[in-house]
Amino acid sequence: MSDFAPNARFSGHGLACLRGERMVFASLDFALDAGGALLLLGPNGSGKSSLLRLLAGLLKPAAGRLAWNDQPVADDREAHSARVHYVGHHDAVKPVLTVWENLRFWAGLHSPAAGDALTAGALERFDLKRLAEVPGKLLSAGQKRRLNLARLLAAPAPVWLLDEPTVALDRASVKRLEADMARHRAEGGMVILSTHAEIDLPGAAELHLNRFTPAAPDMALLAGDGEDWL
Amino acid sequence: MHRFANPARFLRLASAILPWSSALSALLIAAGLYFALFHSPADYQQGETVRIMYVHVPSAWLAMACYSTMALSSAVALIWKHPLADLVAKAASPIGAAFTFLCLVSGSLWGRPMWGTWWAWDARLTSMLILFFLYLGHMALINAFDDPSRGAKAAAILALAGFVNIPIIKFSVDWWNTLHQPASVSKFGMPSIDPAMLLPLLLMALGFTCFFVTVLLIRVRTEIIASKLRAIRMTQIHAVPVAVPVAE
Amino acid sequence: MSRLFGIIHRDLRLALRQGSDSVMVVTFFVLTVVLFPFGIGPEANILERVSSGVLWVTALLASMLSLDRLFQADYEDGSLELLALTPTPLELLVLGKVAAHWLTTGLPLMVAAPVLAVLLNMNADGFVTLLLTMLLGTPTLSLIGAMGAALVLGARRGGVLLSLLVLPLYIPVLIFGVGAIDAAVQGLPVHAHLLILGGMLLAALALTPWATAAALRQALE
């Protein structure tokens, strides 16, 4: 796994995000080294989820660029997808597939090398082993979330992008997730995480997204230079 | 607000062109109609009804030109992400639909004296009917999303897919038509055209084109202003008020 | 490649466990075809004359029935985001999903078609051609339909909109599918029609996955 190299570096320069017709944030820079963690902070609507989707490659930045080891990510999207795990608001659990089938499908799709052993280990780790044959529709919200998080271990990838991962998790599961993140970072992985809850992420850098929100325009703009429009 | 740098230039350009294009289209259409109604011969077979051609044929041309405009600007929007291109595509499709509709109605009116029926499954008319459905789909897709930029992107992909399909559909319909109808009926149009008929036809075609440009410019201008208003309102809702210090 | 089969396998498994989609499509096909004799009368020669057209138009409508679910479920539960983020090209995954869709709708339609052709008194000379046109035509319908399904993701009234977008694009397949059967019944050669249908299938295979994947990506933005 060369992507777990100790000198890996994931960075963004001058990132801007346009949602609908609104500039959510602009001129955002960050850099993360192997083993590092980044905590995204900011009120609702400040663009935490948008930034995570942008880092995953679901959104294209309106300006700026993302780089892996100073190589632009946009040059090779598939290589970037192989490096990244994204855990969003939806758990992507199919109600008619069993826990095992759900996880095995995602692991196999993400990296064909991920075998049954890794899948079993991930289920074990997230305390889902006894539920392996249970169909997704019978799971509780917390169990679905754990199944979604189990993808992180079932197919190893160096960058974890977690959008409010602790939602619906009980205290014990949060503790386990914290331990997993610590181990992942010790192996040279990176974690970028947004949360409103308390989470223990030692040595994490903080990124306050509201600092990058463009200021509200003057209402005079509405009335101003009307000659030009009409 | 880099996004609006170009539209501002467009608005200035549009204001400069609009008076000329609207005057020119009025002039050309008036001259075209005068020649079409008073200074061109009646057809020896079709009689006076041939004058419908002066509306029918240019609207068919413009219907296709509008789709090409739409497809071209959709390609520009998808490849270069030029913010104006989406607006041009959005503005062009209802105009194209209107020309297609005009072509269908005038064709039907022309068909009544010629074929003795309001509608014949003539290859050209059938293709036009399908083109009309393509326009309707494009317009419906643009307006089907809460986020206007989503609708614009989806419609751009649809416009290009439709553009690739138009020759295939045209070929299929021609083939289908020759299979099902005697060829003489579908000979609709002018194999050898009298020069006295050509002049009004060209005048009308040019007039229609100027009219298209005029309406397109007006519609794009409206779209720019509307999106500018939306953007300002969105930023008003979401932006952090500058005066209030943010607690951390 | 294993990823392509992985997604086909998963979609087929989902279709099998959720059931009903294939059954619904075939039921719709049969029921609608059976309506025609009530509408136009039971005279054998009239039914024979319209049989190819009725079968193809109905098959076309039936194959559209399940289209709006093709990406919708994955879109709603977040699976589509993860599919777009796998290291596999999205175009390939689209092909896998379309293949699974065809296996669960196009193939059952093809199997049901000859039975309905008997009910409509179709000339026996047309049966083989009917099967061949369905074999070449229904995958094209699935491919074009997938593009439409991807475009209307998240739209208001997506289902109705989908038919407006997709039906005009289905017309060439309809024309040549029916044309081939009519030619066969009249004892004329059909390979030209079949070649054109095959050409349309190849063109759709080459082009629609790109458009579909582009539509999916913009739906996820």
**A112 vs chain C: nearest CA distance in angstroms?**
8
CA angle A57, A62, A64 (to 5 degrees): 80
Judged against a pLDDT cut of 60, whether residue A217 lies above it is answered with no
Is beta strand A71-72 parallel, antiparallel or unpaired with respect to A63-68? antiparallel
- Cβ of B137 within 8 Å of Cβ of C168? The answer is yes
Question: What is the rounded average pLDDT of the residues C16-39?
Answer: 89
- Cβ of C155 within 8 Å of Cβ of B154? The answer is yes
Q: Which residues contact B223 (CB under 8 A, 6 or more apart)?
A: B87, B90, B91
Question: What is the rounded average pLDDT of the residues C1-7?
Answer: 83
Q: How is domain A9-228 classified at the architecture level of CATH?
A: 3-Layer(aba) Sandwich (3.40)
How far, CA to CA in Å, does B85 sit from each of A21, B89, C212?
15, 6, 21
Judged against a pLDDT cut of 90, whether residue B104 lies above it is answered with yes
Q: What is the pTM of this model?
A: 0.88
Which one of C76, C85, C88, C94 makes the best mutation probe of the A interface by having the most chain A beta carbons within 10 Å? C85
Of A223-227, B77-81, B118-122, C157-161, the least confident: A223-227
The predicted pLDDT at position B241 comes to 52
H or E stretch covering A115: none
CB A166 within 8 A of CB A149: no
B245 and A CB contact within 8 Å: no
- Cβ of C155 within 8 Å of Cβ of B168? The answer is no
Encoded tokens for B107: 């064709």
| ipTM score of complex | 0.89
Residue ranges per domain, chain B? 18-175+196-239
Q: Name chain C's partners: 3 or more CB pairs within 8 A.
A: A, B
**3-state secondary structure at position A38:** strand
Judged against a pLDDT cut of 80, whether residue B229 lies above it is answered with yes
Residue ranges per domain, chain A? 9-228
pLDDT band at B245 (very low <50, low <70, confident <90, very high): very low
Is beta strand A9-19 parallel, antiparallel or unpaired with respect to A63-68? antiparallel
- Cβ of A58 within 8 Å of Cβ of C89? The answer is no
pLDDT in tens, C170-193: 999 999 999 999 999 998 999 999
**A220 vs chain C: nearest CA distance in angstroms?**
32
Residue ranges per domain, chain C? 2-220
What amino acid is encoded at A112 in this protein?
A: P
Chain C, nearest residue to B172 by Cα? C172
Residues of chain C contacting residue A105, judged by C-beta atoms under 8 Å apart: 6, 10
Question: What is the rounded average pLDDT of the residues C141-151?
Answer: 95
Whose CA is closest to A8, among A33, A35, A37? A33
H or E stretch covering C26: helix C21-40
- Among the partner residues C76, C87, C221, nearest to A78 by beta-carbon distance: C87
**A227 vs chain C: nearest CA distance in angstroms?**
35
Residues of chain B contacting residue C158, judged by C-beta atoms under 8 Å apart: 144
Rg (CA), chain C: 18
Provide φ and ψ at A146, rounded to 5°.
Answer: -65, -40
Residues of chain C contacting residue A60, judged by C-beta atoms under 8 Å apart: 221
pLDDT in tens, B52-91: 888 999 999 999 999 999 999 999 998 888 878 989 999 9
Q: With a CB-CB cutoff of 8 Å, which residues 163-192 of chain C face chain A?
A: none
pLDDT in tens, A85-136: 999 999 889 999 999 999 999 988 887 777 788 888 889 888 888 998 899 9
The predicted pLDDT at position A228 comes to 39
At the topology level, CATH places domain B18-175+196-239 in: Four Helix Bundle (Hemerythrin (Met), subunit A) (1.20.120)
